[in-house]
Structure 1
Amino acid sequence: MRLSSKTTLVSCLLVFTVVMSCSLNTEQTATIDPETYWGENPWPEIRKSRISKLLPEAMKAANVDCWLVVCRENNNDPIAPHVGGENAGGTAAFLFYIDGEGFHSKVYSPSGEATALDDLDIHDEVVSVRGASTVGMAIDFIKESGFDQIAINSSSSNSMADGLSYTQRQSIESRLGTDVDKLVSSTELIYEWLSIKLPEEVEILRKAAQLTADWQVEAYEQVVPGKSTDADIAKFLKQKMASYGVTDGWAPDQNPNVNSGPDRGHSHATDKVIMPGDVIQIDFGIKLYDRWVSDIQRFAYVLKEGETEAPEDIQFYWESGKAGSRAALAAMKPGVTGASVDRAQRLLMQAAKSESVPWSTGHPVGYVAHDVGPSLGGGMSKRVRPSSAKLLKEGMTFAFDGFHAWKRADGTEKTISVEEMAVVTTNGAEYLIPPQEELILIGLK
């Protein structure tokens, strides 16, 4: 077996050398001490910065002067970890507001959690409440302050902005009385806030992407044609995750998605045996610090007897997909729509006579694999959906593909989807890590 990639993927993450003992044929894997290896979780400090630096701008962009988040135990709001409400027991009311003196945060917390919440030093003020309604006190403050637009987490289009229960909303509306018409959805506010990543978050995503790509290359080195299965590769990558103390980037049963046969979409790896002539896809993501997620694909071709390189047709499909990825990256810059990025690579797909694919060119990635932000899709549609009409902004991070799909001899379809990660910069965009330049070639053993 040999690897032909000219790009050497060197992890920028390692702070000391870790000797690993992993293969497809062993259950034993050397492990590291995650606490020592990863260091202290940076989320608490990053969260503070996100609230103080990015949230005021998001509120202004959404034309909101007050935002009310209600957190509680067992059925919490999905935004809770971003505002410090992840440990809520009794109902707590988080207020963020802008007045003549600037941006402020105030929390009405049950007394049992108030001390610990105050210790986090996230909010300007934590009011300890005993024997009274925290939401009621928050509403009283809102009414006294005379805010014009009060955002609440009730949304038909963004699950991260839809954490308020029906009964919670009833209670808020009842308490507001004649001010109820001031309520607006937090959809745009949360979109503006979560879609932008701080530079230090981009660096974490860069590290996650590098590990994800490195491990896929390493997994391909283990393949024995005619013996190894797609599930073997997936198992190898699961072992790498366990040894490094990281978790799945998305649903564990479908991460990684390893497929050496026809397209299966989002799927689990099967027991299909990898054979000469196969094109192998690995779609893989990891989560660092239980917060930031990667999403990277790497492709390989299994050489047939006597072959030293991929056949002309396979190489053409690869180059076409790669060109689409480069076109999409070149189209990314602040102020353009997600649809325009999608269109840039789909024009190349048409020129290369690719079969159509049902997937968008890309999607935001960060806190989850499919994060909040513009969809890179709809570029060839007559009616562009709202998420694809959104404008790209500096600090947004994306996972995106360059596609080429073709019909196999048996009539099934296969797609090369050169998936990389990128961040939008001041004047354009840049890959988080060096992209895959060549198909990885797996020889007979």
Structure 2
Amino acid sequence: MTIQKVIIMLALLTLFTTTPKANAVDSPWPEIRKQRINKLLPNALKAAKVDAWLIVCRENNNDPLAEHIGCENAGSPAAYLFYFNKGAFHSVAYSPSSEAKALDELNIHEKVISVPRSVSALKYAAEFIKKQPFERVAINISDLNAQADGLSHSQYKQLANLLGAKQTAKLVSSEEVVYQWLSIKLPAEVEIMKEAAMLSATWQIEAYKTIIPGKTTDADVAKFLKAKMKARGVTDAWAADQNPNVNSGPDRGHSHSTNKVIMPGDVIQIDFGVKLYNRWVSDIQRFAYVLKEGETSAPANIQQYWINARDSGFAAFNAMKPGVRGIDVDQAQTVLMNKYNSEPVPWSTGHPVGYVAHDTGPNLGGSRSAQVRPAAHRKLKEGMVFAFDGFFSWPLNNTEFKTISVEEMAVITKNGAEYLIPPQQNLILVGNN
């Protein structure tokens, strides 16, 4: 590791050891949300070629994007409309009168219109839409993206009835709007994700130091990491039962940590992520080898497997830049995997990460699969953040395999990709105690 990388790591360590707990009430989300609506959403509407975007919110079964637009506290149904008028971007919330004042005080939207509780807020929105020269109005219905599929069937029927056949024909899926909006992260968001990534990586290294070969189980390591999360006040980046995934045995894919005892000669995987401010997540994997009696380094074959995986990850990283398709990033790694004679790996090279571990954006996969996801043909853009793996897989026996999938995080800049934290350069060694 270079001196420059050490300095960066020390600076980030100082940051997250001196900042408040990540679930504190002084979350940066309210201000970031405003910036995302005002700076990024207009571009998303233009890129999706829609004139307006309508979101319906309600209590208990709310839209997946409710917190992104400020309607997370909706009680009675409310309607939120983002649109262009004479080239200018506007946002208006049609809110029940009992909630309108509090919503207006948040200063998220240009206008909050108070709707009598006896009247449907959606009716107000529909009447406004019918008076506008909109040609395409996006609503949250999608076959491919759950984040863009928040409008229920009953809400759609109500909207269609209020709009009439002519206006209903102008309704389109918001899938492209949501894609263009969520896939880009603001610099302030990237900084928070750097902190999340550093926490994940640092705690994994600490966890490896607690292992006593022949005694410690995978589940014990997972419990150590859960305790670190609790003490810090952060939550899980994905399903709690599978975070962290600690595996010292054959490949198990996305899974929970078991009571397998960690033994000398094992290669250990930790797949781990944390969520900061109940909003932004990390997804980092670190790998270790458990030394056998008399060993001071990993055997030559294991060391080579590690180098193969690490370098394959570097190849993917070097291919990541604006304008490159996700499938092309995957192919850059596949070339090295084939060169090194890796066993087949079923997973994509990488995926967007941000508000969830598998976020909206280009899929870095497809070159090793007969079926290519549409998102793999999407192009990378500045501001996108990815978690991506460096792969190498080898057989343990006739039916079981072990895969090194060292996972890093990177943000796309105008000049290429930039690691969020220094990548793992060397296989971690767990010594006999």
Report the TM range for the smaller structure's normalisation. over 0.9
Describe the shift of the 1:10–1:281 C-alpha distance in structure 2 as closer, same or farther (beyond 3 A). Answer: farther
Equivalent residue of 1:192, what SS?
Answer: helix
Q: In structure 2, what is the equivalent of residue 403 of structure 1?
A: 391
Pairing 1:133–2:120 present: yes
The whole-number CA distance in structure 2 between the counterparts of 1:220 and 1:239 is 14
Equivalent residue of 1:85, what SS?
Answer: coil
The whole-number CA distance in structure 1 between the counterparts of 2:233 and 2:10 is 20
Per-residue Cα deviation, 1:360-380 (whole angstroms, up to 9, x for no partner): 000000000000000000024
Q: In structure 2, what is the equivalent of residue 146 of structure 1?
A: 133
Equivalent residue of 1:277, what SS?
Answer: coil
Q: In structure 2, what is the equivalent of residue 191 of structure 1?
A: 179
Q: In structure 2, what is the equivalent of residue 47 of structure 1?
A: 33
Pairing 1:161–2:137 present: no
Q: Of residues 329, 345, 348 in structure 2, which corresponds to 1:357?
A: 345
Determine if contact 1:246/1:287 at 8 Å carries over to the other structure. Answer: yes
The whole-number CA distance in structure 2 between the counterparts of 1:13 and 1:133 is 51
Pairing 1:170–2:157 present: yes
Q: In structure 1, what is the equivalent of residue 51 of structure 2?
A: 65
Determine if contact 1:10/1:210 at 8 Å carries over to the other structure. Answer: no
In structure 1, the gaps of 5 or more residues are: 1-5, 19-31
Per-residue Cα deviation, 1:8-58 (whole angstroms, up to 9, x for no partner): 65461545868xxxxxxxxxxxxx9737x9672000000000000000000
Q: CA deviation at 1:132?
A: 1.1
Per-residue Cα deviation, 1:67-111 (whole angstroms, up to 9, x for no partner): 000000000000110000100000000000011150000010011
Q: In structure 2, what is the equivalent of residue 93 of structure 1?
A: 79
Q: In structure 2, what is the equivalent of residue 78 of structure 1?
A: 64
Equivalent residue of 2:263, what SS?
Answer: coil
Determine if contact 1:7/1:436 at 8 Å carries over to the other structure. Answer: no
Pairing 1:211–2:199 present: yes
Determine if contact 1:258/1:269 at 8 Å carries over to the other structure. Answer: yes
Determine if contact 1:11/1:207 at 8 Å carries over to the other structure. Answer: no
Per-residue Cα deviation, 1:279-322 (whole angstroms, up to 9, x for no partner): 00000000000000000000000000111100011011100000
Q: In structure 1, what is the equivalent of residue 330 of structure 2?
A: 342
What is the RMSD of the two structures over their aligned residues, measured on CA atoms? 1.7
Q: In structure 1, what is the equivalent of residue 110 of structure 2?
A: 124
Per-residue Cα deviation, 1:127-147 (whole angstroms, up to 9, x for no partner): 111121100110000011121
Normalising by structure 1, we get a TM-score of 0.93
Q: Which moved more, 1:9-18 or 1:264-273?
A: 9-18
Normalising by structure 2, we get a TM-score of 0.95
Pairing 1:12–2:51 present: no
Determine if contact 2:115/2:121 at 8 Å carries over to the other structure. Answer: yes
Determine if contact 2:16/2:195 at 8 Å carries over to the other structure. Answer: no
Instruction: Give the residue type in structure 1 aligned to 2:327.
Output: A
The whole-number CA distance in structure 2 between the counterparts of 1:389 and 1:129 is 44
Q: In structure 1, what is the equivalent of residue 415 of structure 2?
A: 427
Pairing 1:301–2:264 present: no
Instruction: Give the residue type in structure 2 aligned to 1:274.
Output: I
Describe the shift of the 1:74–1:379 C-alpha distance in structure 2 as closer, same or farther (beyond 3 A). Answer: same
Q: Of residues 281, 303, 313 in structure 2, which corresponds to 1:325?
A: 313
Q: In structure 2, what is the equivalent of residue 440 of structure 1?
A: 428
Q: In structure 1, what is the equivalent of residue 223 of structure 2?
A: 235
Determine if contact 1:98/1:104 at 8 Å carries over to the other structure. Answer: yes
Q: CA deviation at 1:382?
A: 5.8
Describe the shift of the 1:352–1:161 C-alpha distance in structure 2 as closer, same or farther (beyond 3 A). Answer: same
Q: CA deviation at 1:384?
A: 3.4
Q: In structure 2, what is the equivalent of residue 28 of structure 1?
A: none
The whole-number CA distance in structure 1 between the counterparts of 2:294 and 2:5 is 25
Instruction: Give the residue type in structure 1 aligned to 2:167.
Output: D
Per-residue Cα deviation, 1:332-362 (whole angstroms, up to 9, x for no partner): 0111110000000011101000000110000
The whole-number CA distance in structure 2 between the counterparts of 1:124 and 1:436 is 46
Pairing 1:115–2:101 present: yes
Equivalent residue of 2:131, what SS?
Answer: helix
The whole-number CA distance in structure 2 between the counterparts of 1:125 and 1:420 is 42
Equivalent residue of 2:415, what SS?
Answer: coil
Instruction: Give the residue type in structure 2 aligned to 1:168.
Output: Q
Equivalent residue of 2:298, what SS?
Answer: coil
Equivalent residue of 1:126, what SS?
Answer: strand
Per-residue Cα deviation, 1:152-196 (whole angstroms, up to 9, x for no partner): 000001100000000100111111112111100000000000000
Instruction: Give the residue type in structure 2 aligned to 1:365.
Output: V
Q: In structure 1, what is the equivalent of residue 355 of structure 2?
A: 367
Instruction: Give the residue type in structure 2 aligned to 1:288.
Output: L
The whole-number CA distance in structure 1 between the counterparts of 2:87 and 2:182 is 25
Q: In structure 1, what is the equivalent of residue 269 of structure 2?
A: 281
The whole-number CA distance in structure 2 between the counterparts of 1:124 and 1:300 is 52
Count of residues paired in the alignment:
426
The whole-number CA distance in structure 1 between the counterparts of 2:241 and 2:331 is 32
Identical-residue share of aligned pairs (%): 62
Q: Which moved more, 1:106-115 or 1:50-59?
A: 106-115
Q: CA deviation at 1:385?
A: 2.6
Equivalent residue of 1:205, what SS?
Answer: helix
Determine if contact 1:10/1:214 at 8 Å carries over to the other structure. Answer: no
Equivalent residue of 1:47, what SS?
Answer: helix
